[in-house]
Structure 1
Amino acid sequence: MKNLFVMAVLWLFAAVVYAQNPAAPSRFTLQGQAVDTAAAPLPSSTVMLLSPKDSSLVNFTRTDEKGAFSFKNVKSGTYVLKISFVGFIPYNQVIKSGSESVVNLGALKLKPITKELFEVVVRTAKAPLTIKGDTIEYNASSFKVPPGSTVEDLLRKLPGVQIDQDGNIRAQGEEVKKVTVDGKSFFGNDPKLATKNLQAESISKVQVFNDKTEQSKLTGVQDGKKEKTVNLELKEQFKKGGFGKLTAGGGPASNDVSARGEIKGNYNKFDSKRQFSVIGLANNTNQDGLSFNDYQDFRGSNSFNWNDNADFGFGGSGRSIYFGNDDETLGIPVGGGDGRGFSNNVAGGVNYNYDTKKTKLSTSYYYNQSRIELDAERNRRNLLEASSYRTEENSNQINFNGNHRVSLRYEQMLDSTNTLVVLSNARLNNGNTNLLTFQDLYRSAGANGGEALSTRNRTKNFSTARQFGMANTALYRLKFKKMGRSFAASATYQINTNDATLDLDARNEFLQATSVNDMLRVIRQDQNTNSLRNEYKVSLQYVEPFAKKFFWETFYNFSLRYDEVDRNVLNVGDAGMSRNDSLSRYYKNNYLYNRLGSSIRYSFKGMNVSAGLAGQQFTLDGEYAPDQTSTQFNRINRTFTTLVPNLSLNYDMKKNRYLYGGYGLNVRIPSSRDLQPIINNSNPLFINEGNPDLLPQLEHNLNAGFYYFNPGNFTNVNVNLYGSYFENQIVYSQTVDPQTLITRTRPENLTGGRSLGSYLNFGFPLKKTKATLNLNTQLNFGKNLTRINQVLNETNNQNYNIGTRLDLTPTEWLTFYANANWGIIDTRYSINTAQNQIIINNNYRGDLNLKLPADFYVNTSLNYRTYRNDRLDFHQQIPIWNASVYKIMGKAKKAEVRLTAVDMLNRNVVVSQYAGQNYVQDERIATLARYFMLSFTYNMRGVQAKMRRDGY
């Protein structure tokens, strides 16, 4: 099957190459020069060849410095030549090829726009695309998609834009960070929410450009950093009415699988000042949400949507210090977020935006819940200093998670120089997990490679969690009259609470151990953890220009955080419950953080260089005891002081070429969980505890890159080099009991870990508007340190990834997308070279869409994944074939009936391979496989508002 797939891709590739073969008959070269009425050349004009039948784009280019252009190897026929230049009336001319091999049109004069000619401009300005500097504007009506298509389907048609199978967007070779609708945020800052839920027919124009960072907008100082942004401009009738989409479907039960069903919809109503949107879904087809991350640790991370950076410093990059994983709760195991297992999902949300020149308000409410069942098989090989052992694990878990999310952003321009922004985000979560795990541990039996069963574990866990988080921020900005001088201040309050329980019932059998503590054979406990976290933050920033091209930036950050955790562990026995003082802990921590920094920035003609230094101090004052009623508390008093340098370079070399690089130091303060000597035994065979002697981790980061985009032929090149070196890296060393194989982990500091990597992407059209090829490669070489039974192990990983993608859109009725990715992970261990191994993960995918007569459409996709590890004799091939056929119905083409077949080969299973610091693991998770569904979709069109006139 893989060979047939590759042959199909090569056949299509050969057909495209043949179609543009210069030796093919009946072809000619078209050339000319764009000038103004005074015969002065118009460089960088957009020149297009259009089909006279429907004005669809055939080819495009840009004029050079002399205003000249040339189209080579043009198929003989009739075309419309369109030339556009800012401030001039677009030029149009019908071109009919003859017997000449070269058609030279000479100088073509464009007339400047005047008031009298404005109406003419409106009538003639329609063009498939317009290039204005680094902005490319697409006319959506020139790129045909089936009725009822989403914006995501439209973007796939646009030259220079790519959508991967997860909905992530790349434009001109760069990842799109933000999607706006008429310049306004849509449901927060997730690009996929707009592209997956808005209809293509509502869009008038698609604009792709590099937006400034919020720091640059605030200070008026160019920092050289850009964010690739897509703006969707709505048609007038959709701005004045409502539009939306409703889908309902169902399918029969088969192969002991229950019936499948789904319902989803959205409704939008926009005008020049307001946006109102409603979205929702319910299904049991593993469609688990609208791209909100249901499992993120809130912790205020959503407080700064729209790039509202309230932690100033070093060009808006935020703090150079961050806390480790401070999740002190039992938590809910993550599962099903990538379509794993079997899930029932419900989600819905309301979003409202009000946007005027002085006032901007955005608020939303979103609820989602998911019940997921996961059946997993894991095979893990752990390395010891001179041997190894293997774990076979089978688990079943049922997770329920429900989240309420509320967000608010209010921005008021007090006057021309003063702006106030208020942000508030909150999340309330309720969840529970029922987990059943079976583990068998096999000890290596000698040089002959045999194995013997050593330890057997059966564990039942039931956990609950109720979590609340809120973050509130006030941000004040002041721009002085002097260009570049600015001041900003912010204040933030965050609160997080978590009330969690865990009922633990574990049975351990030690088949080879000669003496074992009976307390390890049966473990029955009730664990309760209540935590409270409060944080107060203040940040200040001042920017002062001097010597015309230089700017002095200084900032101050203050944070005071208070943590309180009460963890009670009760042993459950036949005689009742008794408190386990060795596992119970009550502790309070106060974190005081101060950072003062300054930098000098040089900004002139696209060159931005910044060099800065900050001094930061972090103080931890904590106390802990087995119980909050204890008379004697142990104390932890630690102070960490660090100098943090920062260097950045951003150079706009013009003509869409960018050079960037920099050096930074990240400081990771040990988390309170890592510092507290608390023992966590929720997995009785894998126990972890904290280390109060940890030092901060220092990560030195270097990066450099180059980006180039040619708007004339849509060729793009993106090169990136990066490297990291760790001092006092926080790693989790392991001690394995030779009798029971119980592993205990404890964090410690090690120096010497490093990573070095590169990324290269090269994209170019095989035939403009018809075929595009992208090639990419990523290399990474890393060294990770950890201590295994007091012996230092050095794990070296060499990762090689090569990928290619082919986009074919030869006609309106056919599109084909194909991609292939090959990955090799070569892992070598210093303490046990016999366990060195190579992991190979490959993926091939093709998507075909056909338009048939009578408004019938067909689309089908084949995704073929292979996994291989000869060392563990692991080989897996998974072909997933999906297909659907649908019919557009009605005179207005508002309705759609669709028959869908998912996983027609009935082979779907989630497989992964991973090589860690001293182990390698493969995992298989049963998931939703073959099913069929018949669905009906109704599209609501925009309603044209009728304007009333006096006298009528």
Structure 2
Amino acid sequence: MQYIRFTIVSLFFLVTSQLLAQQVEVKGRVADQGDKSPLIGANILLINVADSTLRFGVVADTAGAFTIKSVPTATYRLFISFVGYTAYDQRLNLRRTAPDLGIISLKPDAQLLKDVVVKGVAERVAQKGDTTVYNASAFKTNRDATAQDLIEKMPNITIENGQVKAQGENVQKVTVDGREFFGDDATLALKNLPAEVVDKIQVFDRLSDQSQFTGFDDGQTVKTINVVTRSDRNNGQFGKIYAGYGTDDRYMVGGSTNYFKKDTRISVIGMSNNVNQQNFASEDLLGVLGGSGGGGPGGGNRGGGGNRGGGGNNGGGGNFGGGNSAGNFLSGQQGGINKTNAIGLNYSDNWGKKWKVSGSYFFNDASNNNLSQLARTFFSTEGPGQLYNEDYFSSNNNKNHRLNARLEYTINSKNSLIITPRISFQGNTAYSSLLGANSINALRISQTETEKESKNNGFNFGNSILWRHRFGKIGRTLTVGLTTSANDRSGESLLNSVVNYYTRKTADSLQITDQRTDTKSDGYTISSNISLTENVGRGGQLQLNYTPSFTKNYSDRKTYNYNQSTSEYSTPDLRLSNEFDNTYITNRIGGSYRLRIQKTMVTAEVNYQNAQLSGKQNYPLEFSINRSFNNILPSAMINYRGADGKSFRFNYRTGTNAPSISQLQNVVDNSNPLFLRTGNPDLKQEYNHNTSLRYGVTNPKTARSFFINLNGSFTQNNISTATYIAARDTVVGGFPLNRGSQFTQPVNVNGNWNVRSFITYGLPVTSLKSNLNFNIGTGYTRTIGLINNIQNTSNTHSINGGLVLSSNISEQLDFTVSVNGNYNTVSNSLQPSLDGTYYYQNSNFKLNWLTKAGFFVNTNLNHTFYTGLGQDFNLNFTLWNAAVGYKFLKKQAGELKLSTFDVLGQNNSISRTVTETYIEDLQTRVLQRYYMLTFTYTLRNFR
């Protein structure tokens, strides 16, 4: 008996080992036959000739590459298809060695090839599946242009206040040849790549790593630009160094260098300046944005409105602003005067056949000094609206270390692992002072003088691990993801304020505050996702998923008043102190079904989610909260890809959002004594509905393109604000609230929603050797808040439009002309007398002219116009930057330039914000006129 068992087991292992030994891995890359650009999302299918039920299929990645693992040795037919291209059909005899098929080129469909070139118009843009592809050589730029300068000329791509947008959506990631480049900092990547190395620009919605593997969109798509480098420019060293000094001790020094050799890519950037050049993202700033020292203009109380309402090109979302634009002189994201020291390193490579590695490190040391004037009009339940005016000064320094990495490991033919760690350290010191006053009918009712010093340190860590397994049966996959994150922040601040309250024209009461506040907060999140897919029927696929998540946060805030007898901050203030922790646990389970019908993909998904929100206050009084939420979360998507350059995408998705610990923490913040705010432990989670529709068509025959985006959102239990404006002296939450002072608390409301549209059309103007792009958008935003327990509904209607005419002449002559306008109508239900309209327009002319002798002229003329704002905010000004210079040395690698910033001395910065509580106009300090002499050396060493 034992002999029989031994024989069976031996035969089993022998057969298994033979089967495994006869499995191979098939890999290759799919590209356009003409320009060799990768065909992202091409479908690859292997069908066994002897047994057609034995099939293996994958989708090409962002580099056009594909790998089919665990394929038994046999004879197969290899099918490769991509919309708009002739299908590839080839017999493939697989032996024991793993074949590398190299580059497989697909021919564009013959119908599309017919009359492609019309009157000499080169192909500028094409739609390849879900990817919009721009041909860089069809857009002429000056020799020193960056990739950002290049994409500004391309249809349907715009840059608004430093934010890159494609097809009306924010670009969140930039990759180079499908590889990570400085993490998720899109602006940093585009500003540091020269336009001359770019062959193609690909714009697409990048799926998450899990979705790319399973084919199911999990809603975590990000608008992505992939820069395809030229084959004759992706092997060598290139970059530039520069140094300049000017009047008022203005200076800038820095550079970038890139080393590309096959799979190895190394980039280093660095800068030091005091002319507002900033190459870092907002995530690098801890407490810097908004002033930090005193909560920013307005004393930190935005009424919960943030940047809602207003105008902007979001069709009613956000604020709008102008000025501070330096064009080629790179102005920063922060207002005021900035001094920046920064260095960054990016690395990517393939380690053998199993490892793909990329990572980046970035350090910055940023100092900011800012002066601002603010005018805020509050909606009121009693009589005329209350006015608040403020002069604000802030000075702060922020240091940040940021490290990102991505590691892809192919374990074996069926299993792979992706690890993406992320870590940052931040430190901030700040000082701020403000002089603010409330008034009604031009009579001052209160005034505060406030000073604040603070010091904060922060740490953030995140990591994601994704294991992907492919079974032998095509379409059957298993993915398991684990995501962890943690943060820790600590700080201390000193607050001194003197508040005067008036009954007539003289102060009759005085409130003095002298206190120290110590804060500490930390938290962590652990979440997982398990997904199983299976083919069901012809063209159908089913996915089952389970997602648990656990989040815990802790916050400790202790405030001490100054004790005259001890000369120390030793007297606890229980009204301003609080210790609170909360836990948020979710369990989501559900399934989705995907059906492909020729050129159309339809996906429907439904999930059930149970959420448990609990919190406990430990100081000064103890109490607990416990809530449970049960939700059905449906989603749906329709995606059509036509062979005629047309594409259509509809998406509907739901989700929940838990209140933050600061929104739950029942502690008063008196950073500005005229505007007190606190949390609300009774908050519920939000339930969000989001829908989007996008239609696009590109015509390679005429080089014309058209895109339309429609977006809408609706939120149930939206976390808004309840503001109490004291009409007379009273006490709220244990605090004396004098006439005109405010007390704000977050509350749940229903009825907040917004819709917006964006239409863009691009075409060549051959008579001018230029490209012309039009865009127009509309929007409506409805926000609800409570003022003195009465609901106020704020409505913002907006319409915006613009055009860009960019030259396509030569490297010697390069110009761009653009005009953008934004018209807004604002109304509210509580005080219609404050309803009104406002308009913002920005016009820009940019010229770069290089003579054959090496002399050049650069000029950037930017005109800004405002109307409908408050008194002293309706400005009309022109920012003119100009430069002349000479190029010399071999291949004109050296450059000497004399530049003038703000030739006319008119630079300014204005913005308007509209919320459910108030309308606000803000003017901030900007860089003024200076002259600078700069030397630049450009490195071009390609092999």
TM-score, normalised to structure 2's length?
0.77
Cα distance change, pair 148–796 in 1 and its aligned pair in 2 (3 A): closer
In 1, Cα distance between the equivalents of 2:233 and 2:718?
58
Q: Is 1:878 aligned to 2:877, yes or no?
A: yes
How far apart, in 2, do the equivalents of 1:772 and 1:802 lie? 17
Go from structure 1 to structure 2 and tell me whether the alpha carbon gap of 1:557 and 1:888 turns closer, same or farther (over 3 Å shift).
same
Picking from 409, 413, 417, the partner of 1:412 is: 409
Distance 1:894 1:675, change over 3 A: same
Matches within 5 A, 1:792-871: 792-869=791-868
Identify the residue that residue 354 of structure 2 maps to in structure 1.
Answer: 358
Distance 1:456 1:780 in 2: 38
Q: Is the 8 A contact 1:536 1:559 kept in 2?
A: yes
Q: 1:292 to 1:276 in 2, by over 3 A?
A: farther
Pairwise CA distance, 1:189: 3.4
In structure 2, the CA distance between the partners of 1:670 and 1:393, relative to structure 1 (3 Å rule), is: same
Taking a change above 3 Å as real, the CA distance of residues 859 and 743 of structure 1, as seen in their structure-2 partners, is same
Q: 1:418 is matched by which residue type in structure 2?
A: N
Q: Is the 8 A contact 2:127 2:697 kept in 1?
A: no
Distance 2:742 2:694 in 1: 42
Q: Of residues 226, 231, 238 in structure 2, which corresponds to 1:230?
A: 226
Tell me the residue number matched to 2:473.
482
What is residue 202 of structure 2 aligned with on the other side? Answer: 208
Contact 1:849 1:859 in 2 (8 A): yes
167 and 875 in structure 1: CA distance in 2 versus 1, 3 angstrom threshold = closer
**For the structure 1 residues 66 and 916, does the alpha-carbon distance in structure 2 shift closer, same or farther, using more than 3 Å as the test?**
closer
SS in 1 for 2:875: strand
Are residues 613 and 659 of structure 1, via their aligned partners in 2, closer, same or farther at CA, if it must alter by over 3 Å? Answer: same
SS in structure 2 at match of 1:774: strand
Q: Where does residue 180 of structure 1 map in the other structure?
A: 175
Say if 1:589 and 1:872 are closer, same or farther in 2 by CA, change over 3 A.
same
Please say if 1:652 is aligned against 2:614: no
Picking from 594, 599, 606, the partner of 2:599 is: 606
Secondary structure of the equivalent of 2:683?
A: coil
Comparing 652-661 with 542-551, which one deviates more in the overlay?
A: 652-661
Change (3 A) 1:514 1:625: farther
Q: Aligned residue for 1:492?
A: 483
- The 1:637–1:862 alpha-carbon spacing in structure 2 relative to 1, beyond 3 Å, is same
User: How far did 1:812 drift?
Assistant: 4.5
Contact kept in structure 2, 1:909 and 1:927, CA below 8 Å: yes
Inter-CA distance 691–199: structure 2 relative to 1 (3 Å threshold): closer
Q: Which amino acid aligns with 1:427?
A: S
Q: What residue number does 1:384 align with?
A: 380
Alignment partner of 1:550 out of 540, 556, 567: 540
Looking at structure 2, the residues matched to 423 and 581 of structure 1 have their Cα atoms a distance apart, in angstroms, of 43
1:403/1:428 contact within 8 Å kept: yes
Residue 188 of structure 2: SS of its match in structure 1? helix
Residues 68, 792 of structure 1: CA spacing in aligned structure 2 closer, same or farther, 3 A cutoff?
closer
**Corresponding residue SS for 2:575:** coil
- 1:889/1:877 CA distance change after superposition, 3 Å: same
2:554 to 560, 564, 569: 564
> Structure 1, residues 242-282: CA drift from partner, whole Å, max 9, x if none?
332110001122xxxxx110001112212112111111000
Map residues 370-381 of structure 1 onto 2, 5 A cutoff: 370-381=366-377
Specify the SS of the correspondent of 2:115.
Answer: strand
Q: Which of 338, 341, 347 is matched with 1:343 structurally?
A: 338
| Pair 916,216 (structure 1): closer, same or farther in 2 beyond 3 Å | closer
How far apart in 1 are the matches of 2:787 and 2:528? 43
Q: What RMSD in Å do the two structures reach over aligned CA positions?
A: 3.2
1:925 Cα deviation after fit: 1.0
1:242 aligns with 2:231: no
In 1: Cα distance, 2:872 partner to 2:162 partner: 34
1:617-766 equivalences under 5 Å are: 617-627=610-620, 633-739=622-728, 740-766=739-765
Q: Are the counterparts in 1 of residues 664 and 683 from structure 2 also a CA contact under 8 Å?
A: yes
Which of 587, 601, 609 is 1:594 aligned to? 587
- 1: CA distance between counterparts of 2:168 and 2:552? 44
- 2:911 match: 912
The farther-off stretch of 600-609 and 377-386 is 600-609
Distance 2:112 2:723 in 1: 69
1:507 and 1:172, CA in 2 relative to 1: closer, same or farther beyond 3 A? closer
Could you tell me which of 442, 446, 449 is aligned with 1:455? 446
Shift of 1:704: 2.2
Find 1:65's aligned residue among 88, 95, 111. Answer: 111
Alignment-mate amino acid for residue 197 of structure 1: N
Cα offset for 1:769? 8.7
What residue is the counterpart of 2:395 in the other structure? 398
3-state DSSP of counterpart to 2:276: coil
Identity, % of aligned pairs?
A: 28
2:425 counterpart residue number: 428
Cα shift at 1:686: 0.9
Is the 8 Å Cα contact of residues 860 and 882 (structure 1) preserved in structure 2? Answer: yes
Contact 1:172 1:709 in 2 (8 A): no
Alignment partner of 1:582: what SS? helix
Alpha-carbon distance between aligned partners in 2 of 1:66 and 1:708, rounded to the nearest angstrom: 14
Opposite residue 658 of structure 1, the aligned amino acid is S
Please identify, of 170-179 and 356-365, the stretch whose mean Cα deviation from structure 2 is larger. 170-179
Cross-structure match for 2:520: 530
Contact 1:278 1:349 in 2 (8 A): yes
Query: Which residues of structure 1 form unaligned runs of 5+?
Result: 1-42, 46-61, 75-80, 82-126, 254-258, 299-323, 326-334, 445-450, 945-952
Contact 1:436 1:459 in 2 (8 A): yes
Moved more, 423-432 or 812-821: 812-821
Q: Give 1:181 deviation, angstroms.
A: 2.9
In the alignment, which residue of structure 2 is the partner of 1:102?
A: none
For the structure 1 residues 529 and 275, does the alpha-carbon distance in structure 2 shift closer, same or farther, using more than 3 Å as the test?
same
> TM-score, normalization: structure 1?
0.77
Task: Report the equivalent of 1:508.
Answer: 499
* Counterpart position of 1:616: 609
CA contact (8 A) 1:182 1:232 kept: yes
Q: Offset of 1:71 from its aligned partner?
A: 6.6
Deviations 1:123-162 (A, max 9, x none): xxxx9979795678778678665444433345556x6585
Distance 1:274 1:587, change over 3 A: same
Compared CA separation, residues 383 and 181, structure 1 to 2 (3 A): closer
Q: Is 1:193 the equivalent of 2:183?
A: no
Q: Which amino acid aligns with 2:364?
A: N
Distance in 2 (alpha carbons) for counterparts of 1:732 and 1:67 = 58
- For 2:741 and 2:137, the matched residues in 1 are separated by 64
The 3-state SS of whatever aligns with 1:497 is strand
Give the Cα–Cα distance (whole angstroms) in 1 for the partners of residues 927 and 85 of structure 2.
52
Higher relative contact order (CA 8 A, sep 6+): 2
CA contact (8 A) 2:140 2:810 kept: no
Structure 1 position 698, deviation (Å): 2.1
CA distance in 1, matches of 2:660, 2:886: 56
8 Å CA contact 1:431–1:466 kept in 2: the answer is yes
Could you say if the C-alpha distance between residues 269 and 263 of structure 1 is closer, same or farther in structure 2, counting changes exceeding 3 Å?
Answer: same
Q: Distance in 1 between matches of 2:185 and 2:775?
A: 25
Q: Which moved more, 1:751-760 or 1:535-544?
A: 751-760
Offset at 1:522? 0.8
State the SS of the aligned residue for 2:187: helix
Cα pair distance change 1:72/1:141, threshold 3 Å: closer
Residues 916-925 or 864-873, more deviating: 864-873
Q: Deviations over 1:459-515 (max 9, x none)?
A: 001111100111122211112232222111112222210001111111100011899
SS at match of 1:217: helix
Local SS of the residue matching 1:838: strand
Paired residue type of 1:150: T
Report the Cα distance in structure 2 between the residues aligned to 1:70 and 1:468, rounded to whole angstroms.
55
Cα distance change, pair 872–833 in 1 and its aligned pair in 2 (3 A) = farther
3-state SS in 2 of match to 1:484? coil
CA distance in 2, matches of 1:700, 1:645: 10
